[in-house]
Amino acid sequence: DQQVKQNSPSLSVQEGRISILNCDYTNSMFDYFLWYKKYPAEGPTFLISISSIKDKNEDGRFTVFLNKSAKHLSLHIVPSQPGDSAVYFCAASFAGSGSARQLTFGSGTQLTVLP
Amino acid sequence: DVKVTQSSRYLVKRTGEKVFLECVQDMDHENMFWYRQDPGLGLRLIYFSYDVKMKEKGDIPEGYSVSREKKERFSLILESASTNQTSMYLCASSPDQSSPLHFGNGTRLTVT
């Protein structure tokens, strides 16, 4: 059973408009959430994160919103640019054994920004 | 800048072969991870290590083993490759619990 779900496999938006990517989770123990971006033939790169003590975190054009009661987070990209076209993975974690947090990833959403 | 290097971009192996996937990081990170990425399933954790010679199973360890003899190197071993292990394999590292993972560019493994 997938604990982190991205129900939209793909999303297309026009350049300059807002992109909203969604993610749902089921495990109440998750206390740290991240978004990664992945271009073809490259590894995922970290984009933005949020702790469960916050409901919003902003970094330039990227904002992540967390709704703990709904177990839902979203990534907003404003304005969207063609270079944002990539697969976006949502990930969640909680403090595990030793010193390593285990990340649980969603299945990804392919974002295409049309010029 | 952190560099995580995976030794091969593409590998083709036969069923039953023993396969080694190598990963090296250059930032003295404590934690290293092996994931596989499959369409519709995202990234799934195979094994991770939080110290030299230490290893822990992730969500899908069956059919795999790992080795971490030196801090900078984390190897994934497929003891007897099977076709269902055809996948993109991603190595990652992190310095501590609160830092994001840094990923390598992946190894596309095909088992025929």
Could you tell me the domains of chain B?
4-111 (2.60.40.10)
Selected residue of B49, B101, B105 to mutate for chain A interface (largest A Cβ count, 10 A) = B101
CATH number at residue A86: 2.60.40.10
The number of distinct structural domains making up chain A is 1
Smallest CA–CA distance, residue B59 to chain A, in Å, is: 9
Range of the domain at A76: 4-114
**Tokens representing B64?**
């795999």
Quick: pLDDT tens for A13-72. 999 999 999 999 999 989 999 999 999 889 999 999 999 999 999 999 999 999 999 999
Q: CA A22, A28, A34: angle at the middle one, nearest 5?
A: 45
Q: Which residues contact A3 (CB under 8 A, 6 or more apart)?
A: A25, A26, A27, A30, A92, A104
A32 contact residues in B (CB cutoff 8 A) = 98
Q: With an 8 Å Cβ cutoff, is B96 touching chain A?
A: yes
Q: Which residues of chain B have pLDDT under 70?
A: 1-2
How confident is the model at residue A102, as a pLDDT? 80
The rounded mean pLDDT for chain B is 94
Confidence (pLDDT) at A64: 98
Q: What is the pLDDT of residue B2?
A: 67
pLDDT value, residue B97: 74
Q: Give the pLDDT of residue A95.
A: 72
d(CA A50, CA A35): 9
pLDDT given at position A94:
82
Q: What is the pLDDT of residue A96?
A: 62
B10 and A CB contact within 8 Å: no
CB-nearest partner of B90 from A9, A43, A100: A43
At A79-114, the pLDDT tens digits run 999 999 999 999 998 876 555 678 899 999 999 999
Judged by CB atoms closer than 8 Å, whether chains meet at A98 and B106 is answered as no
Opening angle at CA B2, ends B12 and B23, nearest 5: 30
